[in-house]
Amino acid sequence: MQDRTVAREIFAAWQVQLARARWLSLRAPTPQHTVQELLAEYTAKVTPRKSPASQRRDHVVLERFRKRWGNLDLDQLSNKTVEDYLTERLHTVTVATVSKELGVLKSAYARAMRWDWVSTSPFRGIALNQEGEERVRWLTDDEEARLVATAAPWLCELILVGLDTGLPPKQSGEPTMILVARSRDCPGIPHANWSRPRRRR
């Protein structure tokens, strides 16, 4: 008798969910998944398609996230939690490094949304800079002198303008001057940024 009562209750609950989906266009609630489940699924299905170097990075990075957030439900990992991690990691690594780490987790959450494991991503509104900032090396005074001395005659005046003015970025409505010094025009000068004023204007 008791088993029959339980069966009726289960059947009634199923009918309610069916009616909600049919008449109210409401989905039945999906089961909760943890961050650890997502990382395991991602490691098994996505990571093997990557290059060997990316696979090694995935395993290291995802293991760090598993230890830190593995027991959380997917919807418990918040935007602020991610930003706090980013801020903390910047004390020891570069923006590019932490962005690459979080980029793996962001990719995993994108998969989770495709699988209907979660309805939103904690990375919404967070910009990740995986390229890092460009590194610039300025010419030394000696290199500037060698550049002018070895450049093709037609290029010398343009180089002097660049060294004196720095060729500032284009302002609205102003023409832009672009200098391209080819290696055969300036032999012996390593690649560097020489568009910095050499003296005050």
Helix (H) or strand (E) holding 92: none
Residue 42 has pLDDT above 60, yes or no: yes
Q: List 73's β-bridge partners, or say none.
A: 34
State residue 133's pLDDT score.
52
Selected residue with higher pLDDT from 24 and 66? 66
Q: Which residues contact 106 (CB under 8 A, 6 or more apart)?
A: 121, 123, 128
- Over residues 83-97, mean pLDDT: 92
- DSSP at 74: G
d(CA 184, CA 189): 10
- Over residues 138-159, mean pLDDT: 76
166: confidence class by pLDDT, cuts 50, 70, 90: low
**pLDDT tens digit sequence for 63-89:** 999 999 999 999 999 999 999 999 999
153: confidence class by pLDDT, cuts 50, 70, 90: confident
**Could you tell me the domains of the chain?**
16-133 (1.10.150.130), 136-201 (no CATH)
Tokens (6 digits) for 21: 């989906």
Instruction: Identify which of 73, 80, 179 has the alpha carbon closest to the alpha carbon of residue 119.
Output: 73
d(CA 38, CA 174): 52
- Range list of β-strands (E), the chain: none
Selected residue with higher pLDDT from 161 and 100? 100
Helix 52-69 × helix 35-45 angle, to 10°: 170
Q: What percent of the chain has pLDDT over 70?
A: 61
Residue length of the chain: 201
- Over residues 97-116, mean pLDDT: 93
